[in-house]
Amino acid sequence: MLSVLVAVAACSPEAQAPATETPAVAAPDAAASPGFAGSYVFASDNLTAAACSLVLEPDNVEGSTGIFRVTLGEALITAGESRTVSCVEAYPILSTLTGWQATEDEGVRLLGAQGESIAEFSPAGRIFQALPSSDGATYLLSPEDTLNNPQ
């Protein structure tokens, strides 16, 4: 499991062009940016199929106070022959992903193009867990820094 997450970290969006177009961005508002903006790994709870790199950006989606940009990277497929694909190919649930916002319970909500909730993650230690998501699956959202400091 750790090797999958380490390999996904190597596919980090900071080193690559975004896999999807993102909405226009307003200037960052440091006071409104949630503290957990940063690089994450999105994966199913079984961690055997794919792990996707994504960045929760601190920039507001233009015209949307409190909704922030998301940049998708690539997904590492580990079932069968290892290969990388787009996050949307690995997780079609992310096909309309356009933003994120903090939740009242200190979690993260991923939002679609129409403002709908794609998945709502609640904190479970340093990892966030969505139970169940809009497609009936359970997903994990793990900060990339947990790869080097899992405690």
Residue 40 to residue 34: CA distance in whole angstroms: 14
Please compute, for residue 49, the number of CA atoms within 13 A of its CA located in the half-sphere on the CB side: 13
Count of other CB atoms within 10 angstroms of residue 122: 13
Which residues in the chain land under pLDDT 70? Answer: 1-34, 47-48, 146-151
Cα dist. 147→41, 56, 83, 110 in Å?
10, 17, 20, 22
Place of tokens 């940049």: 71
pLDDT (0 to 100) of residue 112: 92
Residue type, 138: T
pLDDT (0 to 100) of residue 56: 95
C-beta separation of 94 from 106 below 8 A: no
C-beta separation of 23 from 99 below 8 A: yes
Q: What predicted TM-score, i.e. pTM, was given to this entire model?
A: 0.75
- Token output for 55: 């960045």
